[in-house]
Structure 1
Amino acid sequence: MSPTPVVSVRDLRVYYGTPRGTVRAVDHVSLDIGEGEVLGLVGESGCGKSTLGRGILGLLPEGAVSDGEVLYGGRNLVGMGAKELRRLRGPDLGLIFQEPMTRLNPVMRIEDHFRETLQQHEPGLSARELRTRSLETLGRMGIPPTRFRQYPHEFSGGMRQRIMIALALVLRPKLLVADEPTTSLDVIVEAQILGILSDLRQTFGTALLLITHNLGIVAEACDRVAVMYAGQIAEEGDARDVFADPAHPYTRELLRSTISLETEELHSIPGSPPNLIDPPRACRFHPRCPSAMVVCAERNPIEQRIAHGRRVLCWLHGPEELIPDGGTEPLEREEIAVADEA
């Protein structure tokens, strides 16, 4: 990994306005992704992972408000004009969408999708170069050239997902946000996709933000992992270190919920992620946390640096001087319920 980050996110916030109130989908998030590095972003549904990915690329719906910094090439993408952002998306910033059928135009052939993408960003390509490059990218996805002129509805869900990935890769972006890129794919094709993404970063130095629920993929394909909960990064560090010795209770609970060959009984985290219009006060995980202390329901946790440069947002790691007397006492389950309703 290059010591200079391809993208640096600093104190990023993304809020949505709704009739019921403001949804704080991404709340003061900071992270770096280096050249040729794969950062896995994990967490339950509704924790803000997809919003963070789109917030980095400036692809937010109308009504969303973002603040903070997303530094790319010395420029802040937050607040950048729409025209400038469009020029960057594709050759610099790429996105693999989560739902391929809703992203492919049903009245356009696959050939037309690739022609439109390449002509928009590389108008100097000849028709032969355009076709060759498109077919090479599709071939790496396991899609034969005989299907180049077919329509999206003629493909299975898994093949449509591979086409979406190919459309993102054909421009060889420097930063690629992959939002659940292996959804609906069988394990063999999933392994092929991960291999292709690995080749891409090794060959072109592409930085990759991999958003997924699959912790097995993160363990296999990612250099670092960021664990997101209720719009915040609960823990971030080297993937091997985090998996071997998770520092945040939420990370531990996620790993305990993963099924493996050694699994003897199923485990789940009680409750569900909070409503981000009105999240729990203080630590947002404390209503579900098996290690919750009194201080967790009273004060916001302060991010700490621990062994091997890992970051963790949890009072279990201090700072001790800011924990009041009695703050380390266990928080009873009845007290947790009352604290969550307050």
Structure 2
Amino acid sequence: MTTVRVALGDRSYDVVIEAGLLARAGALLKPLSRGRTMVIVADANVTAHLATLQAALSAEGIASEAIVLPSGEATKSWAQLAALTDRLIELGIERGDHVIALGGGVIGDLVGFACSILKRGCGFVQVPTTLLAQVDSSVGGKTAINTPAGKNLVGAFHQPALVLIDPDVLDTLPARDLRAGYAEVVKYGLIDDPNFFAWCEANAAALLAGDPAAREHAIATSVAAKARIVGEDERETTGRRALLNLGHTFGHALEAEAGFSDRLLHGEGVAAGMALACGYSAAQGIAPAADADRVVAHLRDVGLPHDLNSAGIDADGETLVAHMLHDKKMDAGTLPFLLTRGIGQTYLDRTVDLGLIRTFLDAQRN
């Protein structure tokens, strides 16, 4: 068992990582149950994992109630938020209770946001079942829903009380979703850990093929990196946490152009976005072209989008920049970008000329 502490004062919590953990989760959840029925909100795709979790709770004498929601990005909506909060109120959730989010990032984001506003804030636990959620969205307390204008535009910072990660649940994850989650693993190497990026280059095939040691190492390293950054800058006030958005400004624009649909999964958008951020940095003479080429080659080798074409996007620069202008990170009319001086040297640039971004994106279509 690996335990990573997210150090946030009185909001600190543990991320527990262990193969087979789901079947033993009851013992870890019992202190949070308060002798009451625990409510689990689950993705419709993880009913088998839901049964395992409910059995684990029952083994510790904990009753549970399940709410099963549709899978897919469309679930992060006003309609589903309203329906979920109404149902939680019907079930008698109290401020001292902890709702369990079982699923990928969509469920974690929606449940976390619902718990941030329900009765002015109740507790929740993250039990992520996708690689993307395990290494990124389940840790750090960012919760949100989407709106027609863009992704994650309505939300709140609301930290979970506990995160339980069982790498074995990835055995049931479709290969495309596993690859999409892997993009967020690579991100930690590109931010500030070139040795981890080199490890990814050497071990990605084994990780994606299900090698337990590679999988657990990648998850533990990623969670530790995110916990460290979140502990330094919980609400993105210093710019340190913003480094975790590498690839996201470009990527969210691609997702918006794809209609936030299964045409382009979030991790796929991030992969293409990271390649574009590295490519733009190289085009501006900020980063070595060889490093940008190395990133593209690795993403291509593992089957992830690495440019506009492989992401299935044919929009021009003007259209994509228009999507970016809805980004929640807009500040005083400027849009910060995560650029790089090389692998492991990501930095925040608040002075990027959007005209240069338009020109760069137009050039990528040729």
Does the pair score TM above 0.5? Answer: no
Larger Rg: 1
More strand by share: 1
Report which structure shows greater RCO (CA 8 Å, sep ≥6).
1
More helix by share: 2
